[in-house]
Amino acid sequence: MKRQGDELTLVFPFAEETPAAVFRRADMLWLVFDTDAQLGLRALERDPTGIVRGVFFTRLPNTAIVRIKLERPRLASVAADGATWTVTLGSEALEPTGPVSIIRNVVAPAHSSVSIVLDDPRALHRLTDPDAGDTLLVTTALAPARGLSKTQDFVEFRALASSTAWSCCRLPTISARS
């Protein structure tokens, strides 16, 4: 972790290339890595700058999920150099993110679908946001960084804006009725 002015840079070095997903929901930055490697989060937990308000770590099989509560929403830039992911938080995006497109497929009024085009996707994760209680579908990928530049709303779900190699959708909670 390194701070320079209003920017905070987080570096995640891995032994091998690691698929990742990075996105923000309000003041919470999510980082999802397809790895069993240990992550050194102590510097984040003890952040003297006040930018980080809390760090929450979840370990799932072959997956590390880091949620970072920020003192206020910030733009996230993500870059990869070999096996190292670098996330920079600040008032402007430093690294360009390649586009990911959403394609609506309407076969008939009652039969439509949406495709999110992502080259070389890796794992699909079904995660629950403990703050909102809704379900997130998150797809990881290797570099280069690519994502949605803005959130897109559909009747059935919301595709969240992203900073790096991922796609994420918020699904509504569906309950059965008798």
Residue 178 lies in a domain: no
Q: By residue range, what is the domain housing residue 126? A: 2-171
Handedness of CA 120, 60, 44, 74 (dihedral sign): positive
Residue 177 lies in a domain: no
Residue 58: beta bridge partners? 65
Residue 95, pLDDT score: 67
| Rounded average pLDDT per 10-residue block, the chain, 178 residues | 85 96 90 95 85 94 96 88 92 72 79 80 93 90 84 79 54 37
Residue 166, pLDDT score: 44
Residue 28 lies in a domain: yes
Residue 171, pLDDT score: 47
Model pTM score: 0.85
Residue 17, pLDDT score: 96
Residue 97, pLDDT score: 75
For residues 124 and 137, is the Cβ–Cβ distance under 8 A?
Answer: yes
Tokens read off for 55:
């760090």
- What's the total number of domains in the chain? 1
Residue 176 lies in a domain: no
Residue 1, pLDDT score: 83
